[in-house]
């Protein structure tokens, strides 16, 4: 088995975990802790494989990735404390930011924001045309929960594709 096959398998697993997180968030507005933990574990394995087992294919600069994840954790924990985002969303976004590092963090946040905007637009349209009118006992759309794990999965997968295309995550 080559390092390229292993790397591809890990990236595929991360994408699959992001899809699982989105599905769980849709179903229950919760992202199980094991999903971000597994994404972090896969990153640690990736660093070990690239830096220790196959260093000839280029070492992974893991320290900036940890810095990017710490920054995301700090900023989004503040948003969580203010009730603006869920704890599962914070953990998932932090885990994904570990994979993208500082070099692609803006791309991750951009695509996650685009995904969140599309999701909000979909929910507004669904509420307007498929839900009973306000005042009928249904919850106000402004207070509705949004399964933001969908947007994080969207952003993470698109950024992952960009990283492979740009050589940020090489498949030797």
Can you give the pTM of this predicted structure? 0.87
Give the pLDDT confidence of 36-65 residue by residue, as tens digits.
Answer: 999 999 999 999 888 887 766 667 788 999
Has residue 109 got a pLDDT over 60? yes
What is the C-alpha separation between 85 and 112, in angstroms, rounded? Answer: 13
By C-alpha distance, which of 29, 30, 26 is closest to 122? 26
What would the pLDDT profile of 134-153 be if each residue is shown by its tens digit?
A: 444 455 555 667 899 999 99
CA–CA distance from 18 to each of 24, 28, 89, 157, 162 (Å)?
10, 15, 11, 8, 16
- pLDDT above 70 (res 35): yes
Lowest-pLDDT range, 71-75, 83-87, 133-137, 139-143? 133-137
Distance CA 146, CA 54 (A): 42
How far is Cα 161 from Cα 54, in angstroms, rounded to an integer?
23
């Amino acid at each position: 088995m080559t390092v390229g096959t292993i790397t591809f398998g890990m990236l595929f697993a991360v994408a699959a975990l992001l899809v699982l997180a989105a599905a769980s968030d849709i179903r229950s507005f919760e992202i199980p802790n094991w999903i971000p933990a597994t994404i972090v574990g896969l990153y640690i394995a990736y660093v070990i494989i690239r830096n220790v087992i196959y260093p000839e294919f280029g070492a992974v600069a893991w320290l900036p990735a940890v810095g990017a994840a710490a920054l995301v954790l700090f900023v989004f924990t503040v948003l969580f404390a203010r009730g603006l985002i869920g704890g599962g969303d914070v953990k998932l976004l932090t885990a994904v930011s570990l994979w993208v590092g500082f070099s692609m963090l803006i791309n991750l946040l951009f695509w996650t924001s685009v995904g969140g905007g599309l999701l909000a637009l979909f929910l507004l349209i669904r509420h307007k045309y498929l839900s009973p009118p306000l005042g009928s006992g249904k919850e106000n759309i402004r207070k509705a929960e949004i399964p933001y794990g969908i947007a994080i999965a969207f952003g993470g997968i698109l950024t992952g594709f960009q990283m492979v295309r740009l050589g940020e995550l090489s498949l030797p």
